[in-house]
């Protein structure tokens, strides 16, 4: 199979953001794991947090279940602490999180655009080359790979930062199918680049926000529990307070290096204030190395916590410390513990059966109709991680549709599977699907996924490609006309007392980063537009309100969000429009009504 590294698009995004001060030294990068049941943000600043990420597109850092807009944490940040050989110099490296008054001491290597966060997925090979990492082996259905350190120019900006000169290579793995789609594994490899580090400790700061909703204090009503046999902190939402109640707890689970597992001391602490807000390395090191397990948090509150482990007597120059942690999500604490046990079973290799690669889909649109056709590239895939000896484990295809967004919710339209075996409905394979009776000029979302046979020897269920990874936005409709003459406005009149967002499919829909309709989401549409045309909108008195340029040979329409050319929402009234065909020079006039 082949893996591809690519720059993110839509919700699966990577942006290279040069921010003041830091941007002159390093690339600031982030992206989303979103192929499974979880949407989880990652970046190249050593934490799972959106701090100092301008234009962060999604209000939620850890959404579960996907599409629910239910938040689960504010910040997750590993810490690394060591002593000099004479035990006199104390060094702690962290990322900026408010609870420890700490600065950005971990940053990407350089300002090169490729020194960033890379997404690599299975396609038709097992490995991919990243500019700073050759022959990277794909582990999951969606890997993200990045690197950062504590000694580049950006990391040296914070006052009193005493670098340990460590390189950190972070890989995170997400799967699209059960039973693996409710956790993400973070594979951490730390390398001292200049000197040996002594009495080395690693910790994770965890600030949960289960059920947080913007504009509420919901993030202050979580409870924390620690399960020592699982090395996992569990955060639960306390019901009955402001904001939505969340019935989906999350956990932070540590998988320490196997070679040190039996010789480690563990620390678990929780609390909003007090010693956790120290600002000096000496006090931070003391907190990390307490070696005590605090009792669970009984009363809900602002749930900040720390789990740490050590010491490693010495970590030699150019040696590698390889450890992992997982973010785990579920519908009950019992399910979290089951997922934790599964992670322990799969570790250390996480070599599990994989889904087939995504088929390549071609789309044809026409009046109220969409035709999907796909190739057979998924049908010959092999999987070395199966135990049943099946050479070609491909079983079939599923076709899904959403009228809402690329993230669903999805409706299963059709399932085709191989005939003549003990799996599925034996319907036989098809590679074409036609959907009719659609609305023209409205967005629909389709996904064609491929799925495998279950591994009956391993007891592993069928694996399927992700709907998000294969999703396509499709707009049915007629082709652009040759000239003006039939241009119209819909809806006309536009009525503010109608909930256009509640239609199916929605006529108006919020940006995917939020679940609330805002004023800028209003929509009227000019239809039957020639390929190259200019729309001008006027008040009855002749004042120009807005100009829209249209250039599209396939979509003969243009949307307007009822906002003027000075970015103000327009008032109720009668409006005039002209549409000029830029090819023929012909112009059509008309009018429409807005009632708010």
Residue-wise DSSP of 69-109? ----EEEEEEEEEEE-TTS--EEEE----GGGT-----B-S
Report the alpha-carbon distance of residue 476 to residue 371 in Å, rounded.
Answer: 10
CATH number of 488-595: 2.60.40.4070
CATH number of 361-474: 2.60.40.10
Q: pLDDT, tens digit, for every residue of 117-153?
A: 999 987 656 789 999 999 999 999 999 999 999 999 8
In this chain, the answer to whether the domains covering 361-474 and 488-595 adopt an identical fold is yes
- Whether the pTM exceeds 0.75: the reply is yes
277: phi > 0 → left, psi -120 to 50 → alpha, else beta; which?
A: alpha
- Judge whether 366 and 476 are in contact, CB under 8 Å: yes
Q: What three-state secondary structure class fits 142?
A: strand
Q: pLDDT, tens digit, for every residue of 512-561?
A: 777 788 888 999 999 999 999 999 999 999 999 999 999 998 889 999 99
Q: Residue 580's closest CA among 483, 491, 492?
A: 483
pLDDT tier for residue 211 given thresholds of 50, 70 and 90: confident
Residues shown for the chain = 596
Q: Is the pLDDT of residue 323 over 90?
A: yes
More confident residue, 446 or 239: 446
Those residues with Cβ within 8 angstroms of residue 263's Cβ, 6 or more apart along the chain or in another chain: none
Identify each DSSP E strand in 193-280 by its residue range. 197-208, 222-227, 232-237, 250-255, 265-270
pLDDT score for 69: 85
DSSP code, position 52: T
- Kindly report the backbone phi and psi dihedral angles of residue 276, in degrees, each rounded to the nearest multiple of 5, phi listed first: -65, -15
pLDDT score for 55: 62
Report the alpha-carbon distance of residue 326 to residue 307 in Å, rounded.
Answer: 13
Report the alpha-carbon distance of residue 420 to residue 263 in Å, rounded.
Answer: 55
Q: pLDDT, tens digit, for every residue of 39-81?
A: 999 999 999 987 666 666 667 899 999 888 888 998 899 999 9
CATH number of 3-346: 2.70.98.10
Beta carbons within 10 angstroms of residue 472's beta carbon = 15
Element (H, E) at 345: helix 333-346
Helix/strand/coil percent split, the chain, to 5:
10, 40, 50
**Domain regions of the chain by residue span:** 3-346, 361-474, 488-595
Report percent pLDDT > 90 for the chain: 69
pLDDT score for 278: 52
Q: pLDDT, tens digit, for every residue of 467-483?
A: 988 999 999 998 899 99
């Amino acid at each position: 199979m082949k893996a591809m590294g690519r720059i993110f698009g839509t919700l699966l995004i990577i942006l290279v953001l040069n921010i003041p001060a830091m941007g002159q030294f390093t690339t600031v990068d982030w992206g989303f794991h979103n192929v499974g049941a979880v949407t989880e943000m990652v970046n190249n600043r050593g934490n799972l947090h959106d701090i100092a990420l301008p234009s962060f597109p999604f209000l939620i850092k850890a959404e579960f279940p996907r599409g629910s807009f239910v938040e689960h944490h504010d910040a997750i940040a590993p810490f690394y602490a060591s002593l000099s050989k004479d035990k006199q110099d104390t060094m702690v490296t962290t990322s900026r999180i408010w609870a420890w008054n700490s600065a950005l001491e971990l940053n990407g290597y350089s300002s090169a655009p490729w020194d960033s966060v890379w997404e690599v997925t299975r396609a038709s090979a097992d490995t991919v080359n990243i500019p700073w990492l050759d022959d990277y082996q794909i582990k999951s259905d969606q890997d993200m790979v990045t690197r950062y350190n504590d000694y580049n120019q950006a990391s040296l900006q914070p006052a009193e930062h005493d670098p340990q000169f460590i390189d950190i290579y972070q890989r995170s793995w997400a799967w699209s199918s059960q039973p693996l789609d409710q956790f993400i594994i973070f594979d951490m490899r730390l390398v001292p680049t200049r000197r040996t580090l002594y009495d080395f400790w690693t910790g994770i700061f965890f600030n949960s926000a289960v059920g947080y909703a913007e504009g509420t204090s919901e993030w202050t009503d979580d409870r924390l529990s620690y399960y020592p046999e699982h090395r996992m902190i569990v955060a639960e939402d306390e019901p009955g307070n402001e904001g939505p109640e969340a019935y989906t707890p999350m956990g932070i689970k540590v998988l320490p290096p196997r070679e040190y597992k039996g010789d480690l001391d563990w620390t678990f602490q929780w609390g909003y204030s007090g010693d956790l807000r120290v600002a000096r390395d000496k006090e931070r090191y003391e907190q990390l190395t307490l070696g005590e397990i605090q009792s669970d948090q009984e009363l809900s509150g602002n749930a900040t916590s720390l789990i740490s482990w050590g010491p490693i007597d010495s970590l030699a120059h150019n040696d590698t410390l390889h450890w992992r942690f997982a973010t785990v999500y579920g519908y009950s604490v019992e399910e979290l513990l089951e997922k934790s046990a599964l992670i322990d079973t799969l570790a250390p290799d996480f070599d599990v059966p994989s889904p087939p690669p995504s088929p390549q889909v071609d789309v044809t649109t026409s009046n109220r109709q969409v035709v999907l056709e796909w190739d057979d590239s998924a049908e010959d895939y092999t999987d070395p991680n199966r135990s049943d000896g099946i050479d070609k484990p491909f079983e079939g295809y599923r076709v899904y549709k959403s009228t809402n967004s690329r993230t669903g919710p999805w409706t299963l339209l059709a399932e085709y599977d191989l005939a003549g075996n003990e799996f599925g409905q034996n319907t036989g394979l098809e590679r074409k699907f036609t959907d009719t009776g659609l609305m023209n000029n409205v967005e629909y979302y389709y996904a064609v996924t491929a799925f495998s046979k279950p591994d009956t020897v391993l007891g592993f269920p069928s694996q399927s490609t992700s709907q998000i990874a294969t999703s396509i936005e499709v707009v049915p409709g007629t082709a652009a006309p040759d000239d003006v003459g039939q241009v119209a406005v819909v809806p006309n009149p536009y009525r503010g007392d109608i909930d256009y967002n509640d239609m199916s499919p929605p006529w108006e829909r919020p940006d995917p980063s939020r679940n609330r309709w805002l004023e800028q989401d209003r929509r009227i549409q000019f239809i039957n537009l020639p390929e190259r045309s200019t729309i001008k909108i006027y008040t009855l008195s002749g004042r120009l309100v807005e100009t829209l340029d249209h250039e599209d040979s396939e979509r003969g329409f243009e949307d307007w969000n009822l906002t003027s050319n000075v970015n103000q929402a327009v008032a109720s009234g009668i409006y005039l429009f002209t549409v000029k065909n830029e090819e023929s020079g012909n112009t059509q006039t008309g009018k429409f009504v807005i009632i708010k």
